[in-house]
Amino acid sequence: MAHADKARQGIALFGAQGQLGRALAQALAGLGPVHTLSHADCDIGDETAVHAAVRRLRPGVIVNAAAYTAVDKAEAERDTALRINAYGPGYLADAALSVGAWLVHYSTGYVFDGTAGRPYREDDLTAPLNVYGESKRLGEEAVLARPLTAFVLRTAWLYDREGRNFLTTVRRLAANGPLRIVCDQYGSPTPVTVLAQTTRAILAHPRAADCAGLYHAACDGATSWHGFAEAIVRSLGLAVAVLPITTADYPTAAHRPVYSVLDGARLKEHLGIALPSWDRALAGLFVEAP
């Protein structure tokens, strides 16, 4: 069946009330009917509920934007993180197989240990440093182990203009004076709108069915949290100092990789899709703002 026909059968979007889910609901709307399911509608960690929802909707494509993303809390809530991030994707993959649907699932650069010193490629060995990263790696493996048409998209440092994320935190804290931001962790900040449009481009591609698999889908280039905060402050037109601190100055429950930059060459090579640089994407977010 052609790629366009799969979307026209309907898209079941799990995790539709999250930041990424809301962006996906808008971006995918033109491809076919989008059935949005929040956590209240279906907990992806509940195998019975997942299969019941998929049998009812019988979509051509399942998109999983549901995830446990509290990186530090995951250290104390390992079972919950595993249920949602590791087992849930497996349930969705089995449900997709049962109705012949494609599956799109999202993962993270935190599956790596941060020691590469160059942008990570899809075939680099994973070695997560924290429970969150471990749970996401297991979710990847669960999806890719099933014999179905699946796209696993690793991304990084997701944010948006609204909700709870790094951009909105910087905006809120900037009202109270100078900011102290970690300067020795590097990644590629990626707006949820960019990832949502990338997902649309993948599903709309005429060769999508032949190019399923694991891809890195994060903005191009790299910066530190400190560099990202400085760029946000400039974009907001705020006159506030952004002071660099080290990871040691800001201890957290979860150990984070110092370098989680992702190489997007495979996505460009296979499907001709290239994400913008992180700074251009940030600027575009403010240009689009009402």
Tell me which residues are annotated as active site. Answer: 132
Cα separation of 102 and 212, whole Å? Answer: 9
Cα separation of 122 and 219, whole Å? Answer: 15
Q: Are strands 102-108 and 61-64 parallel, antiparallel or unpaired?
A: parallel
Beta bridge partners of 106: 153
The owner of tokens 């998109």 is 63
Cα distances from 125 to residues 6, 28, 33, 168, in angstroms, run 33, 32, 38, 33
Contacts of residue 11, defined as CB under 8 A and 6 or more positions apart, other chains included, come to 28, 31, 32, 33, 34, 35, 59, 60, 61, 62, 63
Contacts of residue 234, defined as CB under 8 A and 6 or more positions apart, other chains included, come to none
Instruction: Centre a 10 Å sphere on the Cβ of residue 78 and count the other Cβ atoms it contains.
Output: 13
